[in-house]
A and B are shown apart, each in its own frame.
Chain A
Amino acid sequence: AQRVTQPEKLLSVFKGAPVELKCNYSYSGSPELFWYVQYSRQRLQLLLRHISRESIKGFTADLNKGETSFHLKKPFAQEEDSAMYYCALRYQAGTALIFGKGTTLSVSS
């Protein structure tokens, strides 16, 4: 079965430090991968998707099919990055997104 694994429940870093939120998936085909973010008292929202190959709020994520990973990275964390981050996978068109358990990122000064 398709699965998304986020091994860290909580990641705490200092402002200005690099951040990497890990995401691994299990699927043998070519999935679509996403990162969603939920800031305090806000709705869960899309952060970025691998097909766009874009940088949003300084975050990037590269799909590594060999390692079946889609880690989220930012070179210099900011306090406003503190939030819950979910990695998600769609394994074929017309199916729903499968989410990981989420990682809480805490950035302190």
Chain B
Amino acid sequence: SQTIHQWPATLVQPVGSPLSLECTVEGTSNPNLYWYRQAAGRGLQLLFYSVGIGQISSEVPQNLSASRPQDRQFILSSKKLLLSDSGFYLCAWSLPGANVLTFGAGSRLTVL
């Protein structure tokens, strides 16, 4: 069966520090991968999605970037964190062309 893993689960970082959140999917090939941010009062905001290795679509201009170095690995990064980057980050996957997302457990980032 397919599983999705995210880490770290929680992270407290100072303003200006770098960020790396990782997401991996097991049990499937060539999944579509997504990063969403869940912030208070702002709901679930799509940040990036990828339909293949090296193919990243960005939905909103921001301080974050994403990479997909391997088929089932999706990384969310920042060179210098801002206070506004605090939030709950969710990785998700779907089969190509499918319309159902499966979400990871999330990573809670607090920027101080």
Contacts and interface: CB of A to CB of B under 8 A. Distances in A.
Interface of A: 6, 9, 32, 34, 36, 43-46, 49, 86, 88, 90, 93-94, 96-102
A88 to B, nearest CB: 8
B27 interface: no
Given A44-B90, A94-B51, A96-B49, A49 B42 contact: no
Contacts, number: 51
Given A94-B51, A96-B49, A96-B59, A101 B41 contact: yes
Given A96-B34, A101-B43, A46 B100 contact: yes
Interface of B: 32, 34, 36, 41-46, 49, 51, 57, 59, 90, 97, 99-106
B100 A100 contact: no
B97 A44 contact: no
A23 B35 CA distance: 23
Contact of A98 (B42, B46, B97): B46
A11 B72 CA distance: 38
